[in-house]
Structure 1
Amino acid sequence: MLARWAGAADFVAFVLTGSLATDHTLAGRTMAHRLPPAGGELGQEFDDDLLALAGLTAERLPRILRPGDPVGSLTPEVAEATGLAPGTRVHIAGHDHAVAAWAAGIREDGDAADSLGTTEALVRVSRNPIDRRAALTEGMSVTRTVTGRHESLVAGAAGGAMIARWIVAHPEKDADVLFRALEPEGPGEAFVLPYPRGRQTPRPDPMARDRLVGTPETAAGHLRAVLVGLCLQLRWMEETQNQILGSAPARLTVVGGTAAHNAAWNRLKSRLVDGPLAVVGAHEPVASGAALFAAVQCSAAPADAVLPAAPLPSHPHRRADDLYRAFVDAATQPALSSAGSTP
C-alpha cells in the first residue's frame, strides 16, 4: 500500500531534513500541478481532480515549496554523519533542464538554452504570456523558470539518446576516433530523422521513426548524418518557438554534460543553426547549478552569478537552408514517417 509518493530529489531532501517537499518545476512534471494564468502566483497545491485520475490524494504527495524556499535544515543525525554544520538549509533547485538553463544565465526575456543530456530541451524565457494553445498544438510545454519569475517555453527532442543508440548499434567502431575525424567536416548531404519513439515537437507525430535520408558510404558518414539530423531538428524547434513567441533569441547557449562538449556536434550546429552560439564549460551543470541556486538563496553568492560560457564561432554553411527545407519536408511526409531505421 502506498503511504507517500516522492520524486528522487524530494526523497533525498527528506532523508537530509525529515521534511517531504518538492519544487514547483518538479511538481509540474507529475502533470498534477496546474500552471496558473500568465502573471498569476504559483500555486502550492496539487490539483485534486488530476490526482483522482491516478487514484491519489494530495495528502500522499509532497508539499509544494514557494520558489527559493528551503525544504528545511539538516537533522542533527545527518549533520553529524556528513560533517556539515548543524542547521544547514537544504534547497531543491528543480527539474534538471530548468536548473541547467537557470545556471547558464537563461533568466530574462528572450534568453534561450539548448540543454543537452539523454534528451535535448530547447528552453526559451518570456516575460510575456505564452500562447498555451499554440504551444500545445506544437507539442511544447509552458513552464516557469526556477525562480518563478517568468514563463518559459520548452521543446524536447531525442538528443544524446540518438547518439548513444548509434554507438550501441556499432560496437565494432571507435566512436571517439570517428568524432575526432568529423570535427573539421561539413554537414554533407545525408541526415537522419531523429525520432526513435515518435516526434514530440514540432507537429507531434507518435508514428514518426528515425530514418536515414541520403547515402553516406562510411561509418563516419552515418554518424555525421545522425548529428546533422539533430542539428536540423533543433533548428526546426527554434524556428517554431520563434513563431509562437514572435521573436528570435539573441544567442543560443548550449549547456549539458558530455554531449554539450561534443566538438563535432557543436561545429555542425554553428553551420546549420541560425544565430550566435555559446557553450557552458561546466561538465556537470545541473549539479553545479543546484549548488549555485542554493548559494544564491543563502546569500553566499550574488544573485547574478552564472556558470561561464564561451562563444562558439559561427560558420554558416552555404547549403544550410536547403538542408533544413529537405529535412522538414522528409519529416512531414506521413507515408515515410515510419519507414526504415537509423543505420
Structure 2
Amino acid sequence: MAYTIGIDVGTFETKGVLVDHAGTVIAQAARGHQMLVPQPGWAEHRPEEDWWGDFVFVSQQLLAQSDIDPRDINAVACSAIGPCMLPVDKEGNPLMNGVLYGVDGRAEKQVQALTDRIGEETIIARCGNALTSQSVGPKILWLKQECPEIYAKTAHILTSTSFLVQHLTGEVVIDHYTAANFSPLYDVTTQAWVSDLADDIIPLEKLPRLLWSGEIAGEITAEAAEATGLAAGTPVTAGTIDAAAEAFSVGVDGPGDMMMMYGSTIFIILRAASPVSDPAIWYAPWLFEGEHASMAGLATSGTLTHWFRDHIARDLQVEDAFSALAQEAMASPPGANGLLLLPYFSGERTPIHDINAKGAFFGLNLTHTRGDMYRALIEGIAYGTRHVTDTFADLGQRPKRLLAVGGGTQNRLWLQATSDICGLDQVVCEKTTGASYGDAFLAALAIGVVKRADISAWNPVSETIEAAGDPIYEKHYVLFRRLYEQTKDIAAELSG
C-alpha cells in the first residue's frame, strides 16, 4: 500500500491524518495551542512552537500510530490559518510572532492610508478585494513603520503555510489562493506580484515564489526528515490556507458549491464560475489555474463558544461543557426569550469590515438564564452568517449546494439554527475531519494517484440538515441588523 499525509495548523489546534489512496483514515493526531492576544485587536502565534513544533509532533504521532514505513508515504501536503504575516531572516528564522489573519486589526491605519492613496475602486479592480484587516499588504507596511529594526532584517515575508513548507523543503513558496490576500501586492488579473500600486511596502523579491496548490514545491530535506520522522525526498505540495483545504475535503469543486466551515470562525467559500469583485466579500483564484472562488468570514464563532464556556460556564467540566450548554440552550425557545447577541467580539470581517464593532448581549432581564444566553450566542453567530449569505445572494451568488464542515458540525443546535436562520439546507459529509483530510487528498492528487472527482468516494454525503425556519428568526434578524447600525458609533468611540 501507499499513503499520503495531510497536516493542518488551525487557530487553536493542529490536526493531521494519514490515509491510503482510497481515502481510508489509517491514523489521526492532534495537538492544541493558544492564540496570543498581547493587546486588544492583535492576534498572534509562535511560529516555531505553534506551527513547526505542532507539525513535528503530529507527523511523529501519525507514524507511531500507524507503524507504517515512512518510505511508503508518497506525498505530504499542509495547510494553515491564513493569511498570516511573518518576517523571517535569511536563514528562515522568525523575527517576531506570526501576525494572524483578519482577527488581527493592528494595521487599521495602514489599511485606510493605502485605500486613500490608491483608491478603493482601483484596488478592487486590480486585487479583487478591498483592503481590510484580512489583507497582508497593510500589515507588512505596519511592520515597516512600527518595527523598522525587524523590517531591516527581513529576508522574506511568509505566511503560515509558507513557513511550514520552507521548514520541510527549504523552498520559499506560496499558492495563488493565499497570495491573493496580500493586496495590494498581488494582481488577480495577471496573477502575479506587483509593486506599481504601492512600491513602498516591500521589495517583491522578498515575497515567496508563486505556485498552484496542486504543484509540488520540493522534497523533504534530511534535516526535516530527522525532525519529523518522514523520509527525506518525500514530495511536498505548495499547500494552501486551511479553509480552502477544508472546502476540498467535502467536495467543493464545481461552480455553485459553497462550503460553510464551522471552526474558530465561520468561513465561507463559494466556487464561482467567474471572478466576483465587491468590497463586501473577498475574491481569489481557486486552487487550480483558471478557476475562481469568492470568500467570506466572520471574526468570532467557535472562538466565542470557547469564551462563553471559559467565562460563563466555569462550573461545568471542560470535557462536558458544550453538550451541557447545548442542553440548557435547547430548553430556551427560538429567539432565546427575546435576547439578541452581536457576535463582534473581535470586530467583524465580512460583510461589514468593521474592526471597531463590539460584541453585546441585548435585551437582558432578570428572567434570562444561561441557556437563553447560550442560545442567543448561537443564534447571533447564525444571524451574522445570514448577513453573509444574503450578501452573496444580492451579488447573484446564491449557492446551488451548501456543504458544512468543521468541528462545529458536532453542535446540532448550531447547525440547525444556521439552516433555519439562513433558509438553506446543508449537506454534511461522512468525514468532518476537515482541512487535514483535504490536504491528504490534495497530496494524492498532486502525484497523480487520484482524480478530482474521487473526493466524492473518499467522503460521501452522510445527511442533510433541512431548513425549517421560524417567524421569530425573521423578526430578530431585522433587529440584529438594526442593533449593529444603531450602536456602531458608540462602539467606535469605545475603541478610542
TM-score band w.r.t. shorter chain: 0.7 to 0.9
Distance 1:336 1:214 in 2: 19
- TM-score scaled by structure 1? 0.85
| TM-superposed deviation, 1:327 | 1.6
1:156 to 294, 297, 300: 297
Distance 1:8 1:335 in 2: 32
Q: 8-17 or 176-185: which moved more? A: 176-185
2:450 aligns with 301
2:220–2:232: 8 Å Cα contact kept in structure 1? yes
Q: Does 1:212 align with 2:361?
A: yes
2:413 aligns with 264
1:34 aligns with 186
Distance 2:447 2:331 in 1: 45
1:36 alignment partner AA: V
- Over 3 Å counting, the alpha-carbon distance change for 1:13 and 1:128 in structure 2 is closer
2:188–2:284: 8 Å Cα contact kept in structure 1? no
- Over 3 Å counting, the alpha-carbon distance change for 1:337 and 1:190 in structure 2 is farther
- Over 3 Å counting, the alpha-carbon distance change for 1:183 and 1:83 in structure 2 is same
Distance 1:74 1:267 in 2: 43
2:409–2:415: 8 Å Cα contact kept in structure 1? yes
- Over 3 Å counting, the alpha-carbon distance change for 1:211 and 1:51 in structure 2 is same
1:252 to 393, 398, 402: 402
1:25–1:94: 8 Å Cα contact kept in structure 2? yes
1:17–1:90: 8 Å Cα contact kept in structure 2? yes
Identity %: 24
1:1-343 matches, within 5 Å, as 1-37=153-189, 42-43=191-192, 46-49=193-196, 52-54=199-201, 56-76=202-222, 78-79=224-225, 84=230, 87-130=233-276, 132=277, 135-136=278-279, 138=280, 140-157=281-298, 158-174=300-316, 175-176=321-322, 177-183=324-330, 186-188=333-335, 189-215=338-364, 217-244=368-395, 246-257=396-407, 259-306=408-455, 307-309=459-461, 310-334=463-487, 338=491
Runs (5+) with no aligned partner, structure 1: none
- Over 3 Å counting, the alpha-carbon distance change for 1:241 and 1:25 in structure 2 is same
Runs (5+) with no aligned partner, structure 2: 1-152
2:7 aligns with none
1:253–1:277: 8 Å Cα contact kept in structure 2? yes
1:252–1:277: 8 Å Cα contact kept in structure 2? yes
| TM-superposed deviation, 1:62 | 1.8
| TM-superposed deviation, 1:86 | 5.1
- Flag as ranges the 4+ runs of structure 1 deviating above 6 A: none
RMSD: 2.7
1:287 alignment partner AA: S
String of CA shifts for 1:19-59, please: whole Å, max 9, x gaps: 2211112223333542423xxx633xx223467433x2222
Distance 1:212 1:81 in 2: 47
1:319 is paired with a residue of what secondary structure? helix
Distance 1:172 1:81 in 2: 38
| TM-superposed deviation, 1:82 | 5.4
2:163 alignment partner AA: F
Q: Decide which structure has greater strand share.
A: 2
- Over 3 Å counting, the alpha-carbon distance change for 1:35 and 1:98 in structure 2 is farther
- Over 3 Å counting, the alpha-carbon distance change for 1:13 and 1:326 in structure 2 is same
- Over 3 Å counting, the alpha-carbon distance change for 1:335 and 1:230 in structure 2 is closer
Aligned residues: 327
1:122–1:156: 8 Å Cα contact kept in structure 2? yes
Distance 1:301 1:242 in 2: 34
- Over 3 Å counting, the alpha-carbon distance change for 1:282 and 1:10 in structure 2 is same
Q: 263-272 or 227-236: which moved more? A: 263-272
- Over 3 Å counting, the alpha-carbon distance change for 1:301 and 1:51 in structure 2 is farther
Distance 2:239 2:454 in 1: 15
| TM-superposed deviation, 1:255 | 1.4
1:249 is paired with a residue of what secondary structure? coil
2:155 alignment partner AA: A
- TM-score scaled by structure 2? 0.60
1:331–1:337: 8 Å Cα contact kept in structure 2? no
